[in-house]
Amino acid sequence: MATQVQEPRTRSRTADRTRGPRGAGRPSGRIGSRPGGGRIEGLDGLRALAIVAVLIYHLRPESLPGGFLGVDVFFVVSGFLITTLLVRELGTRGRIDLPRFWVRRARRLLPALALVVVVSVPAAWAVSSDLLVSIGRQTLGALSFSSNWLEIAAGSSYFTATSPQLFVNFWSLAVEEQFYLLWPIVLVVVMAATASARPRVRLALAAAAVSAVLMAVLHTPGQDATRVYYGTDTHLFGLMIGVALAFAWSEPRGFLASAAWLRRRQLAALAALGGLVVLMLTTEQSNGWTFRGGILLASVLTAVLLAALLGRPGAFQRLMRLRPLEWVGQRSYGIYLWHWPAIVILTEALPTAHDSPAHWAVRGLALVVTLVVSAASYRWLEQPVREHGFRGAWARLRQALGSRVPARRGLARTAVALGVVLVLLTAAAVAVAPERSRTQEQIEAAQAAVDASADNAAAVDLAADADWSMPTGEEITGFGDSIVVTSADGLEYRFPGVMLDARSIRRWSDGEAAVDARLAEGTVRRAVFLDFGTNAGIEDESVVRRVMDKLGPQRMVVVVNLYGGSDWIPEANATLAGIVDDYPNAILADWHGAISQQPELLQSDRIHPGIEGAHLYAEVVESAFAALSERLTGSPVLLADRVGTDLGGAISAGLAAAPAS
C-alpha cells in the first residue's frame, strides 16, 4: 500500500472550498481559476519569457546581462504550481500520496534528463576530451538532482572555469527537485499548524526572507558567488515566494479575489513585466547588488506577473497566449536541458572569434539543434511517459518491438539499439574522463616556471632619469592572472629573463596586492605589463588607478585588455582604455583585437591561449612596448621577426597617437 501523509482532521474551511476533480491536472498550468481544475491562461507564455531570457544570456551575455534571472522566474512558477497541486490534493482527498507525487515528478523530469545525458556525453567525447573533465561528478549530480551541492563541495565555480562544464545549468534542477522532495512533508505540518491562508502566507514569506538574507550575508562582493547562487538554502526564496502566492490564491475571499486587485492586475502585470525586463538588461552577476536584493526583486516581480494570470482572461493573458510563446513554454524544460550542452559542444567543435559572423552562425546552429531536439523529445519521449507512465510507455515500446508492421518494428528496434549504445558510450566516457583539462594542465605546468622567475628576481634601482627605450626581458616585470600563466612560454621566448608574477583567478584587487608586495621588496623593473580582470572585469576603477599611481611616472606601463564572452568584457575594455589614456607613460595592448582575428589559437575554454596563442600574446605585449617607446622617444623601434603572425592593428591607434611625455 502506498505511503500517505494524512491531512489533519482540523482541515480549514479554505481547504474544503478548494476541492476539484479527483485526477485533474499536473504542473503544466492546468489547475484552474482556483486550485482544483481548468487552466491558467498564459502560464506557458511566462515560461517562454523565462527560457528566452536564459537563452539570450547564454548565447550572448552582453545583450542581456541579467538573463540568468529567467531561472528565478521558473523557481517562482514551480513553487506556486507544486503548492497549489498539493493543497488541491489535500482538499480533495484529505491526504497527500507521497510516492504518487514523487513518481509524477520523476515521470515529468527524468526521461528528458536521461536522454540529454546519454546523448551529450558521447557527443562531447567525440569532440574533445576536455569536455569530459569532472563528467563523472556532473553525471551523478544530474541523475541524482544533487548538482548544486556536489559542485559546491568540489569548489567549482559557475562564474569562472578553465574548462566549460557540460551540465553546469543542471544546478537549478537540483534545487527544484530538492524542494519537491521535502516540501510536501513540510506543507502538511504547515497546514496542520495553521487554520487559514493568511498565516501560511506569512510563514512562506518568512522562509523566503530568511533565504534572501542568507544570500545577502554570505555573499562577499568581489569574491566568487557560486556558493550563494547554487545553495538550496540561499536560493530558496523564489520557490517560497511562489508558495506564498499559492497559499494566497487558495483563499477565495483573499486579496487576489478582491475587486481592487482585479481592476488593477493588468496594469500591475505591465509594470512588473517592464521592471523584470529592466532588471534583465541591467543586472550583472559581477555586481554585489545582484545577490543583495536584485534576484529577490526579480522573484517578487515574477509573483506579480503570475498573480495577474490568475482568474478570468484579460489582455495580459491574451499576450502570454500568443502561439509562439505557448509552443516555447510547453517545451521550455527540454529547451533548458539541451541548450547549454549544445552550445558547449558546438563551440568546441567549431571555434570562432567572439561576435564574428562565424560565431553567430555557430550560435544559430546551437539554437536550431536545441529547438529541434527538444521538440522531438517532447513529442516522442516526454509526452508518452507523462500520459502513460513508465510502465505504460514500456508496454507500448514492447508492442512496437513485436509489431507486425515492419517499419514500426524496425524503428523501435533501432531506437532501443541506439539507446543501449549511447548508455555504453556514456559509461565508457565517464570511465576514461581526464581529471584536468588541457588548459588546467598547462596552467599547472607553467605556474612553477612563473613562480621561479619571480622568486629569483633581484632588487633593482630605477635611474634618476626615466629610460623610455625598448626594454629587454631583464627590464620587464609582468603581473597577471591565468592568461599570463598560459602565455609564459611565449613571453619567455620573446623576453628572455622576464620576471612574471601571475596566478589563476586573480582580480584587480589581487593584482594590487601583488604589485604592493613587489614594490616593497624593490623587484619591480622599469617596464611593467598588467593583465587582470578576465574573471570579473573592472569591479572598481579606483583600484586600477591606484596600481598605475603606485608604479609611478618613471616606468613604462602596458595594460593588456580582455577577451572573452562574458558580459563585462566590453565595459571593462572601455574602462581600461579610458584609464590608460590618462597616463602618458602607459599604453593599451589590444589582446582582444589580436586574438579575435585568430580564435583558433585559443584553448577549448575559448579564453586561454594555446601554444601558438602564447606567442601571439607575447607579440601583442612586445608591440605595445615598442609603440610606447616610439611615442615617448620619437625613435622607431625595430622588432624581431614575428612567429607567423601579423598584428597590424594590435595596438590602440588612439593611444599610440597620444603626445609624448
pLDDT in tens, 436-452: 877 777 787 788 778 88
| Least-confidence region, from 226-240, 250-264, 315-329 | 250-264
Q: Give Cβ neighbours of residue 636 (< 8 Å, ≥ 6 apart).
A: 630
Average pLDDT of 66-82? 97
Domain-by-domain residue ranges, the chain? Answer: 5-432, 438-656
Q: Which H, E and C letters describe 18-46, residue by residue?
A: CCCCCCCCCCCCCCCCCCCCCCCCCHHHH
Would you state the cell numbers that stand for residue 472, as one nine-digit string? 629587454
User: Does the pLDDT at position 536 exceed 90?
Assistant: no
Question: How are beta strands 5-6 and 95-96 bridged, if at all?
Answer: antiparallel
| Residue 289 pLDDT level (bands cut at 50, 70, 90) | very high
Residue with the larger pLDDT of the pair 6 and 258: 258
User: Does the pLDDT at position 117 exceed 90?
Assistant: yes
User: Does the pLDDT at position 653 exceed 60?
Assistant: no
Q: Give Cβ neighbours of residue 462 (< 8 Å, ≥ 6 apart).
A: 526, 554, 555
Q: Are 222 and 539 in contact (CB under 8 A)?
A: yes
Would you state the cell numbers that stand for residue 219, as one nine-digit string? 555573499
Using CA atoms, how far apart are residues 468 and 465, in angstroms rounded to an integer?
9
SS3 of residue 658 by DSSP: coil
φ/ψ of residue 194, rounded to 5: -130, 160
Q: What is the pLDDT of residue 640?
A: 63
Q: What is the pLDDT of residue 427?
A: 97
Q: What is the pLDDT of residue 480?
A: 94
Q: Which H, E and C letters describe 213-269, residue by residue?
A: HHHHHHCCCCCCCHHHHHCCCCCCHHHHHHHHHHHHHCCCCCHHHCHHHHHHHHHHH
Residue with the larger pLDDT of the pair 283 and 651: 283
Average pLDDT of 393-397? 89
| Least-confidence region, from 27-36, 150-159, 559-568, 575-584 | 27-36
Please list the residues that pair with 500 across neighbouring strands: 478
User: Does the pLDDT at position 491 exceed 50?
Assistant: yes
What is the spatial order of strands in the sheet that 556-560 belongs to?
499-502, 476-480, 527-531, 556-560, 586-589
Residue with the larger pLDDT of the pair 56 and 438: 56
Instruction: Look up cell 548544486; give the residue.
Output: 148
Q: Are 189 and 200 in contact (CB under 8 A)?
A: no
Residue with the larger pLDDT of the pair 330 and 159: 330
Tell me the angle at which helices 383-401 and 98-127 cross, rounded to the nearest 10 degrees: 70
Average pLDDT of 195-223? 94
SS3 of residue 531 by DSSP: strand
Average pLDDT of 381-385? 94
Q: What is the pLDDT of residue 162?
A: 53
Average pLDDT of 112-138? 95
User: Does the pLDDT at position 655 exceed 70?
Assistant: no
- CB neighbour burial string for 23-49, b if at least 16 within 10 angstroms, e if fewer: ebbebbbebbbbbbbeebbbbbbbbbb
- Tens digit of pLDDT for each residue in 29-51? 444 445 445 578 899 999 999 99
| Least-confidence region, from 107-116, 499-508, 624-633 | 499-508
Q: Distance from CA of residue 262 to its chain's centroid?
A: 37
Q: Are 512 and 540 in contact (CB under 8 A)?
A: no
Q: What is the pLDDT of residue 652?
A: 40
Q: What is the mean pLDDT of the chain?
A: 87
| Least-confidence region, from 56-70, 105-119, 250-264, 608-622 | 250-264
Q: What is the pLDDT of residue 447?
A: 84
Amino acid at position 314, single letter: G
Which H or E run includes 572?
helix 569-580
What is the fold, at CATH topology level, of the domain defined by 438-656? Answer: Rossmann fold (3.40.50)
Rg value, the chain, Cα: 29
Q: What is the pLDDT of residue 161?
A: 56
Q: Give Cβ neighbours of residue 332 (< 8 Å, ≥ 6 apart).
A: 44, 47, 48, 50, 51, 74
Q: What is the pLDDT of residue 156?
A: 86
| Residue 454 pLDDT level (bands cut at 50, 70, 90) | confident
Q: What is the pLDDT of residue 234?
A: 97
List, as own/partner pairs, every contact residues 125-130 make where C-beta atoms lie below 8 angstroms and the sequence separation is at least 24, other chains included: 125/425, 125/429, 127/345, 127/348, 127/349, 128/348, 128/349, 128/604, 129/432, 129/433, 129/434, 130/163, 130/348, 130/434, 130/437, 130/438, 130/439, 130/603, 130/604, 130/605
Average pLDDT of 517-533? 94
Q: What is the pLDDT of residue 353?
A: 77
For 399-555, list the strands marked E by DSSP: 476-480, 499-502, 527-531
Instruction: Look up cell 611625455; give the residue.
Output: 661
Q: What is the pLDDT of residue 227?
A: 94
Q: Distance from CA of residue 620 to its chain's centroid?
A: 31
| Residue 21 pLDDT level (bands cut at 50, 70, 90) | very low
Would you state the cell numbers that stand for residue 615, as one nine-digit string? 606567442
Q: What is the pLDDT of residue 499?
A: 93
Average pLDDT of 370-396? 93
Q: What is the pTM of this model?
A: 0.82
- Tens digit of pLDDT for each residue in 539-570? 889 999 999 999 999 999 999 999 987 777 88
